[in-house]
Structure 1
Amino acid sequence: MKILLVNVPHPAIGSRIPDDHLPPLGLLAIGGPLIDEGHAVSLIDGEFGPMPLGDLVARIVAAAPEAVLFGHSGSTSGHPVIAAVSSDLAMAMPDVKIVYGGVFPTYHWRDILEAEPHVTAIVRGEGEETTRRLMSALEAGRPLDAIPGIAFRDGSVIRETPPAALIRDLDAYRVGWELIDHTRYSYWGGLRAVVVQFSRGCPHPCTYCGQRGFWTRWRHRDPIRFAAELARLHREHGVRVINFADENPTVSKKVWRTFLEALIAENVDLILVGSTRADDIVRDADILPLYRQAGWVRFLLGLESTDAATLDLIRKGTTTTTDREAIRLMRENGILSMATWVVGFEEERDRDYWRGLRQLLAYDPDQIQMLYVTPHRWTPYFRLTEERRVIQLDRRRWDYKHQVLATRHMPPWRVLLWFKLIEVILQARPKALARTYLNRDTRLRHAMRWYTRMGRRVWPHELLSWLRDPLTRDGPTVAEFWGKGQEREDSMVVRANARPVAAGREAA
């Protein structure tokens, strides 16, 4: 079957501002198994340019695929773009099969299939095995109702099949790296780069997280094989930067140490960046030198808040003391800390921002990433926000970098003011400037300068976007805007997948 994977241009600030582009790991992860199954698979990446939507549709039509597969990692804010492209494509190629996967369609499948009848099927949850079975059935003209993990139209009826079993052996499916030209993808200021995934899932029950139910249970790649794959990407394709897409790759200290030692033994010059939890950093204080030796340069730490009550509310499961200690340990071992801090909780006042700023200064992170609280309908946190007012009606702006909810005690302009003020104070204080421009470690200095350049470009862009894109004062409630919460449905999926089974290679 002739299959085309399509990565649409994403409207988010993080996609549009940097000159660098990272490869679409999700689509490549689907592509590898489809190639191995014998399908003719190719990829169009609309992020470059970015490609105008009309040109993207024309390129898809010119490729004459039998099936087009859409997906995007930032799938909530990316969905309106995929909806527009797939609609135009269906008009131009009414017989083409359109398949859609990712976090957003996994949970919004009913809405999508009702509003977009041209979508053939939606893959829910992990896609490697489900997509393999789906494409085999479509090619052979077999019924789809026997394939777990999908939703589809059966005439005028929308059907959902039972959840697919989680993949226990993540090494059973390979990433289709041959689908991309590695010379086109870079990060960290022009260094050749890829996105990888060592593990899936997370054992922590943070209420706002939109990933826990999707991946469900924490699983990991074979650490030695994974280290060998990263080394091969460096030796064969010149890859320098490895960006980990994991929610929490360091869950198992034993497994993680095995990976670090295996990568060190490969003796390759790599720069590793990713996210983890502060409590894992504190736990691993004795092996942090191995982190650095393996190539780790920066970790994003999801602090979310410096207020203990807020941390309890979102069930973060960490403490301000742990967060502060993690940053200290990382600096001691030559690893940069990027602290995320979320604003826009309903009861916040000026004093809360002032207290938070003082605590962030006490934490002394190397970099700060400010975000706005953004609820997803399948998370427990959604229930706490259902009656809050939506002030941003453009779903393309639901990317954590735009205000989307009204706060009880503060107008949007004052939330924005605090947001930008905290960024400036944290990034422009003398201590931060000294680390950026006078750091003796050339890798850290390069990283700090690159991120500072990005910040200088993003900062005015966010302000201009806020001024050009007026917020509504009398918007609907969150529940009215997004529909009924799906926390219970998501919990059922989690329970159904509590015991993953091995990946199968049996015929669909």
Structure 2
Amino acid sequence: MRIVLVNVPHPAIGSRIPDDHLPPLGLLAIGGPLIDDGHDLRLIDGEFGPMDPDAIVAEALAFRPDAVLFGHSGSTSGHPVIADLASRLASARPGLPIVYGGVFPTYHWREILRDEPYVAAIVRGEGEETARRLMAALSAGSPLASVPGIAFRSGDGPHATQAAPVIRDLDAYRVGWELIDHARYKYWGGLRAVVVQFSRGCPHLCNYCGQRGFWTRWRHRDPVRFARELARLHRDHGVRVINFADENPTVSKKAWRVFLETLIAENVDLILVGSTRADDIVRDADILQLYKRAGWTRFLLGLESTDEATLARIRKGGATTTDREAIRLLRAHGILSMATWVVGFEEETDRDYWRGLRQLLSYDPDQIQMLYVTPHRWTPYFSIAANRRVIQTDRRRWDYKHQVLATRHMAPWRVLLWFKFIEVAVQARPRALARVVFHRDAGLRHAMRWYTRMGRRVWSYEIVNFLRDPLVKNGPSVAEFWGEPQDSEEESMVVVNAERRPEAARPRADAA
């Protein structure tokens, strides 16, 4: 089959503000197995430009595809863009099979299949094996009901097949790096970059997380093979920055140490950035020198809150003393810390924000990323927030960087003022500015200056967006806006005791 993979231009601030772009790992991950099955693939990355919708449609149809596959890591806020493009494609070429995958369609398959007749099927959960089986069924004209892990329309409306099994062996499928021109993808201030996954899932129980249930179970790749793949990307394609998409890559200290030691032995000049938990950093205090030698430059630490009661309520499983110690340890080993702090878990007041700011300053992170709480229907947190009022009904704004929920004690403009003030207070305090200007490590100094330049643009962009975007004063409740809670369906796949490795998906020896 001739298959087009489409990465739509995403409306989120994180996509539109940076001059750099990262490759769409999700689409490349299903692209590799499909190529190995003999399909002819083309990737259209609409993020560059960004591309005009008509140009994307024209380029896709020029390939004369037998199917078009959509997917985007932005998921909820990206859905309106995907819906518009899919509709345009269907109008231009009726009957063209359109397949949609990702976190949002995995859980909203009923509504999508009900309201968007141009979508032929939805891939639910991990896509590598499911996409292979779905394309084989479409090619042979076989019944879609025989393909596990999808949703489609049957005679009585939207129908989901049995859940697909969790992929136990992540090395059984390769990433289709040949679909991209590596020279186009830059990060960290113009350095050639890729996105990778060492692991999938997370064993922790944070009740607001929209990713944990999608992956169902934490697993990791073979640490030696993974390290060697990163080394090949550097040697063969000039990749310098490796951005980890993992929620929590460091769960297994044993596997993580093997990965670090193997990458060090490869002797490649890489910059590694990603996310992990503060308690893993504290646990690994004795091997943090290996982190640094392997190339780790920055960790995003999901602190979420500095209030112990809130951390307990959202089942974060962390502690403020651990968060503070993790930041100290990272700095002692020459690794930057970026602390995420989320506004809106509780009905905050001025006093709450002031107390949170003081605690953040005491943590002394190198960088901060402020976010707004954004409930997802398939998470346990949704039931807690179900009766709160929605003030942003444009779903393209549900990207964690826009206020979407009303706060009982404070008007939206007041929440914004605290949000922006906390960012300035943490990022522009004398100690933080001194690191940006005078840090003795040139690489870390470059990293902080790059992030500071981008942060200044985001800071003003968010204020302009707030003034420009209409907010609803008496909006619907969260449950009225999104529908009934769906946390009983949180796990998108099933765990099996044994899983045969698909022959057609074995990675080629020369795959890079």
Common fold by TM > 0.5: yes
- Structure 2 residue aligned with 1:192: 192
- The answer to whether the aligner puts 1:430 opposite 2:430 as a matched pair is yes
- Structure 2 residue aligned with 1:501: 499
Shift of 1:11: 0.1
What per-residue deviation string (whole Å, max 9, x for no partner) do you get for residues 148-178 of structure 1? Answer: 1000012452211010000000000000000
Shift of 1:221: 0.4
**Can you give the 5+ residue segments of structure 2 that lack an aligned partner in the other structure?**
506-512
- Structure 1 residue aligned with 2:509: none
- Structure 1 residue aligned with 2:280: 280
Amino acid at match of 1:454: M
- Structure 2 residue aligned with 1:123: 123
Residues 289-298 or 151-160, more deviating: 151-160
Instruction: Give 1:436-455 correspondences, 5 Å limit.
Output: 436-455=436-455
Q: Distance in 2 between matches of 1:24 and 1:282?
A: 32
- Structure 2 residue aligned with 1:305: 305
Q: Distance in 1 between matches of 2:41 and 2:317?
A: 43
Shift of 1:52: 1.3
Q: Distance in 2 between matches of 1:98 and 1:347?
A: 42
Q: Distance in 2 between matches of 1:407 and 1:140?
A: 53
- Structure 2 residue aligned with 1:406: 406
Percent identical pairs in the alignment equals 77
- The answer to whether the aligner puts 1:326 opposite 2:310 as a matched pair is no
Whether the 8 Å CA contact 2:242–2:270 is kept in 1: the answer is yes
- Structure 2 residue aligned with 1:290: 290
Q: Distance in 2 between matches of 1:414 and 1:177?
A: 46
Q: Distance in 2 between matches of 1:246 and 1:410?
A: 35
Amino acid at match of 2:253: K
What per-residue deviation string (whole Å, max 9, x for no partner) do you get for residues 468-503 of structure 1? Answer: 002110110000100011101225x56x32646344
- Structure 2 residue aligned with 1:174: 174
- Structure 2 residue aligned with 1:44: 44
Spell out structure 1 runs of 4+ moving beyond 4 A: none
Instruction: Give 1:7-22 correspondences, 5 Å limit.
Output: 7-22=7-22
- Structure 2 residue aligned with 1:269: 269
What per-residue deviation string (whole Å, max 9, x for no partner) do you get for residues 300-350 of structure 1? Answer: 000000000000010000000000000000000000000000002342100
Whether the 8 Å CA contact 1:167–1:503 is kept in 2: the answer is no
Shift of 1:56: 1.3
Instruction: Give 1:13-412 correspondences, 5 Å limit.
Output: 13-155=13-155, 157-412=157-412
What per-residue deviation string (whole Å, max 9, x for no partner) do you get for residues 390-428 of structure 1? Answer: 000000000000000001111101100000000001011
Q: In 2 relative to 1, CA 417–10 (structure 1 residues): closer, same or farther, beyond 3 Å? A: same
SS of alignment partner, residue 151 of structure 2: strand
What CA RMSD, in Å, does the superposition of the two structures yield over aligned residues? 1.1
**Can you give the 5+ residue segments of structure 1 that lack an aligned partner in the other structure?**
none
Amino acid at match of 1:146: S
SS of alignment partner, residue 472 of structure 1: coil
Q: Distance in 2 between matches of 1:166 and 1:445?
A: 41
Q: Distance in 2 between matches of 1:158 and 1:343?
A: 37
Whether the 8 Å CA contact 1:346–1:408 is kept in 2: the answer is no
Give the paired residue count: 505
Whether the 8 Å CA contact 1:403–1:412 is kept in 2: the answer is yes
Q: In 2 relative to 1, CA 42–410 (structure 1 residues): closer, same or farther, beyond 3 Å? A: same
SS of alignment partner, residue 279 of structure 2: helix
Q: Distance in 2 between matches of 1:421 and 1:497?
A: 46
Q: Distance in 2 between matches of 1:151 and 1:391?
A: 31
Whether the 8 Å CA contact 1:166–1:500 is kept in 2: the answer is no
What per-residue deviation string (whole Å, max 9, x for no partner) do you get for residues 427-456 of structure 1? Answer: 111100010110110110010000000001
What per-residue deviation string (whole Å, max 9, x for no partner) do you get for residues 243-283 of structure 1? Answer: 00000000000000000000000000000000000000000
SS of alignment partner, residue 77 of structure 1: coil
Amino acid at match of 1:459: W
Q: Distance in 1 between matches of 2:240 and 2:311?
A: 36
SS of alignment partner, residue 423 of structure 2: helix
Q: TM-score, normalised by structure 1?
A: 0.98
SS of alignment partner, residue 400 of structure 1: coil
SS of alignment partner, residue 217 of structure 2: coil
SS of alignment partner, residue 60 of structure 2: helix
Whether the 8 Å CA contact 1:392–1:471 is kept in 2: the answer is yes
SS of alignment partner, residue 302 of structure 1: strand
SS of alignment partner, residue 145 of structure 1: helix
Q: TM-score, normalised by structure 2?
A: 0.97
Whether the 8 Å CA contact 1:167–1:500 is kept in 2: the answer is no
Q: Distance in 2 between matches of 1:430 and 1:501?
A: 55
SS of alignment partner, residue 454 of structure 1: helix
